[in-house]
Every structure is written in structure tokens, then in C-alpha cells.
Structure 1
Amino acid sequence: MLKKTNPFNITKAVDLSTEEIESLWIDVAGGDADAVFKPTSPMPLLILGGKGSGKTHWMRYYSFPLQLFRFHNRNVRPLKGLRDDGYIGIYILLGGLNFERFRGRGQPDEVWRGLFEYYFELWLTQEIVQTLCSINSADSGLAKYEPIICAEIQKLFSDPPAALLLRFKELLEWCASLQRDLDYDINNVLYTGRFTTRIRATRGTLIFGIPRLLSEIVEEFSDLTFSYQLDELENITEGAMADFG
């Protein structure tokens, strides 16, 4: 007897697998969904709707893991598939950011603002580098660019690592270590009364600078739109959006 999976066992799209997002996708735009979401557009788009209205499903459908899944099904190399799509979807779930950590505890608002901006830069940078790792694993065409991409990304930091990192995985681990150090400072500042973290990148240097240098280095990325898909934006308060946006 064939057992079927009940699609209502999981009610949040964030918990669905890549395969489930793809198989449960319904094009409500009559075959022209790209004209609504417009992942290649340089203009920002706000997706409004109540819980369960499909916002997360929509964003995840246009994220890189789903692009990679479709490339594999069509037997298309990721670099060629991305060039054909014209965009790469960087999906970020902001629910785990916990903005409330970045305030109070005897520290000035200006200090928290700078730390939040830096933290956000590191977070998105890791998502980009992780995406590069995935592309590199699935398409040997990116390997020849790996050392120069890593070297150029490190130049975007005002205080780069002591030893030059030439592999995506090494660069990813270094960025993760910077975030861990910042997490430690934030978690303990109530007891220590001070931060030891040095901010190594100014706002926008990484999240806009990395796509720019990738478009200059990798031929297939020359006309690619980096589509940042920020889910659960409501978890960042209105005041924070005014301060950091």
C-alpha cells in the first residue's frame, strides 16, 4: 500500500525541505510569477501578508538551494543556470537574529548600532560564502576563481586575517569565528562592562562589495543580480529599521 505524506503535518514553510518547497509550489500568477516577484530587479520589494499567506514559501522558492535543485533536475551546470536565471537568491531568516540583544546593559545606543551593523554584515557574508561553497562543490568551473575571490573578499575587511585564506571553507570559518567572538562579547557585556570586539568592516562594505567583486571576477556573474531575501523582517523593530536601514 502506497503511503502518502500529509502536506498539513508541517504548517510552516520554513520547516519544509527543498524538495517539498518545489513540489508544493503553485504559480498563482498564471505562469508569470517572475513578473510579480522580480528576482532580477534592482528595486527592493516588500511582500506583505498575514501568517500562512505564503511569503516564506515564495522567498524560499527563489532562493539558491531551490535554484540548485532545479539545475540538478535539468542537468544544468550551476554557473550556467545562474547566468540563465539572471539572479542568485540569498535567503535569510531574520527570526534568529534577536535584535533585542543589541540594546541596553549600560552601553550607549551608538555602540550597539555599530555592533549590530557589523554583526549583520558578518551574517550575510557567511550566507554568501556558504553559497559559493555549494556552487564550488557542484560546478568545477568556479574552482579556478576561488583563490582570487577569497583574497579580494579579505581586502574588504579593514583588519584582514594575519594569514591569507585561499579556500571558501577557510574564509567561512574565519567569518564564523568573528561572529562567535562578537556573540561572546554581547552575552557577557553586562558582567564585563566593555566590549573587546574590533569592528573590521563598515556598513555595506561586505554585503554590497562582495557581489560587486564577484561580478568583476567571475564571467558568469557579470550581469547577475544578488537578490537578498530577508524573511520575518518584522522581527527587527521599526526603530531599528530606521536606525540601520
Structure 2
Amino acid sequence: MHSFSDAHALFDEIPQPNVVTWNTMISGYVHASQFRNALSFFMRLDRSHVCANAFPFMSVLFACSKLSLFKLGSSIHCKTVKLGMDDSTVVANCLIDLYGKCGPMEHVVRVFFETVEKDVISWNSIIAARANNGYIELAYKFLNLMPNPDTVSYNGLINGIARVGNMEDVVHVLSSLPNPNSSSWNSVISGFVNRNRTREALDMFCKMHLKNVEMDEFTFSTILD
């Protein structure tokens, strides 16, 4: 089995790597959760004479969100504007995710409304960003404005309320979902556990089991902890 060091060595042997080669290395490091290595490669790409497309920016913005590097992510955002990529939906979605995790909420809202062609990921990202930062009512508003919300949309709201809101509201949202998945139930169970409401957590676990929802390791570890 080859390691990233082998890939790195092969990359360094290429006289003039193109943007696809650069992106392969950057995205590879991101998928392997080696975010700082991904950032290092992006910096090398930025200093090179290769004209980057949207894909390396997507990868490096994801890395910034995972490392909570707001300032670096913001500077990369500026680069996307200079290169005319700020109207790219996929780049905008990465920016919404980044600012939702480690930036001022006004940045999230501005990027969202400046995105001309919003897709389901755009909507789900801002709902999750609003909810996770305690803006529950605004998260509800975006959910109601969303053309066709899916389970992920509701999960973003459920997870946010479970973290900072009223658990009775979480249960209400869960009950309104036609087909809640394991992530929906896990957020509710975790919310009760984190509030030391173990009896209600166990009750939700039993209900999840009765509805034949596939349980993962996270569900069992939450209950056992």
C-alpha cells in the first residue's frame, strides 16, 4: 500500500504539474484528514505559475473550516473574488460552511444572498449555520423559505436545537419528519444525554429501534457513555 509520502515524491518529480495534479494532491490530503498538508500544497500552488480552478479552492476552504482558520479562509475568499470564482455555487457553499463554523454570521448571510444559483447544499448549509450558532428562529425561517427541504435540511435544524435549544422543540421537529434517518435520531438522543436526561434518551433510543432505523456506532456509544 502506497503512502502519501510516495505520492508527494512522485509529484515533486513532475517538471510542470498541471492544475489537475495539484488538485489531486490537495484533495487527497483533505480526504485523508491531513488538512495542514493540504493547506501547505495549496500555498505552493498559489506561488506557482499554474492558474487554479475552483476545485483546489473547494478543498482548501473545507480544510480551513475543519481547522477553524477563519482569517486564512477569509483571505482565500478574497482570492476567489479576484479570480472571479465568487459566483461559483460550489465555492459559495464551502464559504457558507466555513463562516458558519468559525466566522461572523453576517459573512454567512452575505455569501448566501450573493450566490445567484443556490442549490440544496446552499440552503442546508445556511440552515445548519444559523441553528448551530443559536439563531433558531432564523433557521426556521430559512427552512420555510427553502423550495424543497429534505431530511438533511431538517437534520441541520434538529442538531442546532439539540445543542442550544429546547429539547421539546427538537422532538416536535423530529415527529414532523416523514422519514427521519439515524442522524436525526442521534442528534435528539445526544441532546438528551448532554442534558443528563438519560431516561428520555433511552426512551428515544427504544423508539428508534422500534421504527427499524438503522443504528450506527455513534448511537450505541452515545447511550453507553
Structure (1/2) with the larger helix percentage = 2
TM-score, structure 2 as length reference: 0.30
Using CA pairs below 8 Å that are at least 6 residues apart, which structure has the higher relative contact order?
1
Structure (1/2) with the larger strand percentage = 1
